[in-house]
A = this chain, B = another copy of it.
Amino acid sequence: MPRMATRTRPGSCCGIPLEPAPLPGPEQERLAALFRALADPTRLAVFRLVAAQREPICACDVVDRFDVGQPTVSHHLRVLRDAGLVRVSRQGVWAFYAPDPDGLALLGRAGALLAGEEVSAVA
């Protein structure tokens, strides 16, 4: 069986840890996926380039601005797309990428979500 802490706990009147706000359902994994998508420096730069545009940017213009190959950029764009951070629209042979409003909103709330949110004390 699991052992409990046997040593007398450090002095503190209310040493009972608080519970973080329980993230509804798969929200936790969703958030982690969002962060994972931005965890790579190259991909973060790609996203920043896409997010900086006033209108959708052509994939070829993204490829031109990075040292990695075209398949790699395509892969990064796909990861960003799966994470809900960018959206793609086709025009003929070209693929145009734009930031996804939902992803941006979630990203904006992420800071507040993680900053300070305690709910209830727990045994």
Interface residues of A (CB under 8 A from B): 5, 7, 9-10, 12, 14-15, 17-21, 23, 28-29, 31-32, 35-36, 38-41, 44-45, 47-49, 51-55, 57-58, 60-61, 65, 91-94, 99, 104, 107-112, 114-119
Least CB separation from A32: chain B residue: B41
Besides A31-B44, A109-B111, 12 new A-B residue pairs in contact (Cβ under 8 A), listed by A number: A5-B60, A10-B94, A12-B55, A15-B58, A17-B61, A21-B52, A28-B45, A32-B39, A52-B119, A104-B111, A108-B115, A110-B110
Q: Of A21, A58, A91, A92, which is in contact with the most chain B CB atoms at under 10 Å from its CB? A: A58
Which B residues touch A109, using CB under 8 A? Answer: 111
Bound-state CA distance A28–B40 (Å) is: 10
Least CB separation from A56: chain B residue: B12
Q: Is the CB of B108 within 8 A of A52?
A: no
Least CB separation from A112: chain B residue: B108
Q: Is the CB of A111 within 8 A of B107?
A: yes
Least CB separation from A113: chain B residue: B48
Bound-state CA distance A105–B91 (Å) is: 40
